Amino acid sequence: MNIILLGPPGAGKGTQAQRLVKHRNMVQLSTGDMLREARTSGTEMGKVVAAVMDRGDLVTDEIVIGLIRERLAAGTTDGGYIFDGFPRTLAQADALGALLEELGESLDRVVEMQVDDEALVARITARSTCGNCGEVYNDNTKPIPADGVCTSCGEAAEFKRRADDNEESLKTRLLAYYKQTSPLIGYYHAKGTLVSINGLAAMEEVATSMDQALDG
Ligand code: ADP
Ligand code: ZN
pLDDT digits (tens, 9 = 90+) for 21-43: 999 999 999 999 999 999 888 88
Mutate which of 29, 88, 90 to test ligand 1's pocket (most atoms within 8 Å of Cβ)? 88
Q: Are 29 and 68 in contact (CB under 8 A)?
A: yes
Residues 6+ apart with CB under 8 A from 34: 64, 67, 71
What was the pLDDT predicted at 3?
A: 98
The 10 Å Cβ neighbour count of residue 10 is 25
Q: Choose, from 19, 36, 39, 88, the residue flagged as catalytic.
A: 88
The 10 Å Cβ neighbour count of residue 191 is 12
CA dist list (Å): 216 to 44, 106, 210, 211, 213: 44, 17, 10, 8, 6
pLDDT at 76 over 90: no
195 lines ligand 1 (CB under 6 A): no
- Ligand 1 centroid from CA 182, angstroms: 14
What was the pLDDT predicted at 96?
A: 98
Q: How far apart are CA 111 and CA 13, in angstroms?
A: 10
Sequence-ordered alpha helix ranges (H) in the chain? 13-24, 31-40, 44-55, 61-73, 90-102, 117-125, 167-176, 183-191, 203-215
| Percent of the chain at pLDDT exceeding 90 | 81
What was the pLDDT predicted at 216?
A: 85
pLDDT at 177 over 90: yes
- Ligand 1 centroid from CA 189, angstroms: 22
- Ligand 2 centroid from CA 137, angstroms: 10
Helix (H) or strand (E) holding 4: strand 3-6
86 lines ligand 1 (CB under 6 A): yes
Residue type, 66: G
90 lines ligand 1 (CB under 6 A): no
pLDDT at 78 over 90: no
Q: How far apart are CA 71 and CA 175, in angstroms?
A: 28
Decide which of 166 and 187 is more confident: 187
Single pTM value for the model: 0.89
Any idea what DSSP says for residue 179?
Answer: I
Q: Are 67 and 31 in contact (CB under 8 A)?
A: yes
- Give me the phi and psi of 143, to 5 degrees please: -65, 155
Any idea what DSSP says for residue 150?
Answer: -
Over residues 189-209, the pLDDT tens digits come to 999 999 999 999 988 999 999
Q: How far apart are CA 184 and CA 169, in angstroms?
A: 22
Would residue 123 show up in a list of annotated catalytic residues for this protein? Answer: no
31 lines ligand 1 (CB under 6 A): yes
What was the pLDDT predicted at 42?
A: 86
Phi-psi region of 75 (alpha: psi -120 to 50; beta: other; left: phi over 0): left
Decide which of 100 and 203 is more confident: 100
pLDDT at 120 over 80: yes
